[in-house]
């Protein structure tokens, strides 16, 4: 009989907890991966995965958690913590070289305490896709860098966020949520819009405000990328937090 699994997502801000119920194998791990990716797109301070009600039918399926942890380390730069694994799964996790990147805690309460300790300074704002949004983005970076004492990051971060916001104004045309997060040694910038079309680095439009395109983001950022978020997408970038 094929395995079935459900994912119960609890937003215990600033930590997201995902409790899995059912059988985890190579057939169900894809559904788990999709849910965990969606949770990361909301940019929690940490992601806790509760395995108390999971039956692991194939130890290779545990690699989904290592993949999620590596993705989260790249962006949004947050820890992924497992808790309450069944005894056999706990042994497999401890013996797996790939899964050693994911810390394991005894229960959800302990995992949440560990994850909460990683809470990071953050600023969020909602912008409309109108003229002046790029200016507001630069002002937001200036405020954040002054608050967090990051004078050298202010210039590059202003340019990058202006491009991310300008790209939404020019191409997506939807309201957007802008987030700045300080997770040393990086400053994380992210813009969520309502258009699912992926972001691409194309030839810039010098006539538009913030019109130098995502090619400039690629040049200035340590890393950048795009992933689905709700009905739209999130485009993110990380810069050194000097």
Last residue of a domain, one of 97, 116, 135: 116
**232 in the same domain as 131:** yes
**193 in the same domain as 159:** yes
Q: Which residue has the higher pLDDT, 119 or 170?
A: 170
236 has a pLDDT exceeding 50: yes
Residue 217: burial class (beta carbons within 10 Å; 0-12, 13-18, 19+): buried
Residue 236: burial class (beta carbons within 10 Å; 0-12, 13-18, 19+): buried
**173 in the same domain as 229:** yes
Residue 240: burial class (beta carbons within 10 Å; 0-12, 13-18, 19+): middle
92-115 pLDDT, tens digit per residue, is 999 988 888 899 999 989 888 877
Q: 160 in the Ramachandran plot: left (φ > 0), alpha (ψ -120 to 50) or beta?
A: alpha
Averaged confidence pLDDT in the chain: 89
Q: What CATH number has the domain bearing residue 9?
A: 3.30.750.24
Q: Which pLDDT score, from 0 to 100, does residue 198 have?
A: 60
Q: Which pLDDT score, from 0 to 100, does residue 242 have?
A: 77
Quote the distance between the C-alpha of residue 242 and its chain's center. 21
**133 in the same domain as 108:** no
**92 in the same domain as 127:** no
213 has a pLDDT exceeding 80: no
139-152 pLDDT, tens digit per residue, is 999 999 999 999 99
Q: What CATH number has the domain bearing residue 139?
A: 3.30.565.10
197 has a pLDDT exceeding 70: yes
Beta-bridge partner residues of 176: 127
**111 in the same domain as 174:** no
156-171 pLDDT, tens digit per residue, is 999 999 999 999 998 8
Asked whether the beta carbons of 36 and 4 are under 8 A apart, the reply is: no
2-53 pLDDT, tens digit per residue, is 679 999 999 887 899 999 999 999 999 999 999 999 999 988 989 999 999 9
Last residue of a domain, one of 116, 148, 165: 116
**47 in the same domain as 15:** yes
Classify the C-alpha dihedral 237-176-206-198 as positive or negative.
positive
**175 in the same domain as 95:** no
**95 in the same domain as 146:** no
The residue range of the domain holding 221 is 122-240
Q: Which pLDDT score, from 0 to 100, does residue 54 have?
A: 96
Residues of the chain above pLDDT 90, percent: 67
Average pLDDT, stretch 47-76?
Answer: 94
DSSP code for 97: T
Domains identified in the chain, total number: 2
Average pLDDT, stretch 193-214?
Answer: 62
**156 in the same domain as 61:** no
Q: Which residue has the higher pLDDT, 172 or 119?
A: 172
**168 in the same domain as 106:** no
Q: Which alpha helices (H) appear in the chain, and where do they start and end?
A: 29-41, 63-74, 87-95, 108-116, 133-147, 151-167, 214-220
Last residue of a domain, one of 78, 93, 116: 116
State the residue for tokens 């987030």: 179
**210 in the same domain as 133:** yes
């Amino acid at each position: 009989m094929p395995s079935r699994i459900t994912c119960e997502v609890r937003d215990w801000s600033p930590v997201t907890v995902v409790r899995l119920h059912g059988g985890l194998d190579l057939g169900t791990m894809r559904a788990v991966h999709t849910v965990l990716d969606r949770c990361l797109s909301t940019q929690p301070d940490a992601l806790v995965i509760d395995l108390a009600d999971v039956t692991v039918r194939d130890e290779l399926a545990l690699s989904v958690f290592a993949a999620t942890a590596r993705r989260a380390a790249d962006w949004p730069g947050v820890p992924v913590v497992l808790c309450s694994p069944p005894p056999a799964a706990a042994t497999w996790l401890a013996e797996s070289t790939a899964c050693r990147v994911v810390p394991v805690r005894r229960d959800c309460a302990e995992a949440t305490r560990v994850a909460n300790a990683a809470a990071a300074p953050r600023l969020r704002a909602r912008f409309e896709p109108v003229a002046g949004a790029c200016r507001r983005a630069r002002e937001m970076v200036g405020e954040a860098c002054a608050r967090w004492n990051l004078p050298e990051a202010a210039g590059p971060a202003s340019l990058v966020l202006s491009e991310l916001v300008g790209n939404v104004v020019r191409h997506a045309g939807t309201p957007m949520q802008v987030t700045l997060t300080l997770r040393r040694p990086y400053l994380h910038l992210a813009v969520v819009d309502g258009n699912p079309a992926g972001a691409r680095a194309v030839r810039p439009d010098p006539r538009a405000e913030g019109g130098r395109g995502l090619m400039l983001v690629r040049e200035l950022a340590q890393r950048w990328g795009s992933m689905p978020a709700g009905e739209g997408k999130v485009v993110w970038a990380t810069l050194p937090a000097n």
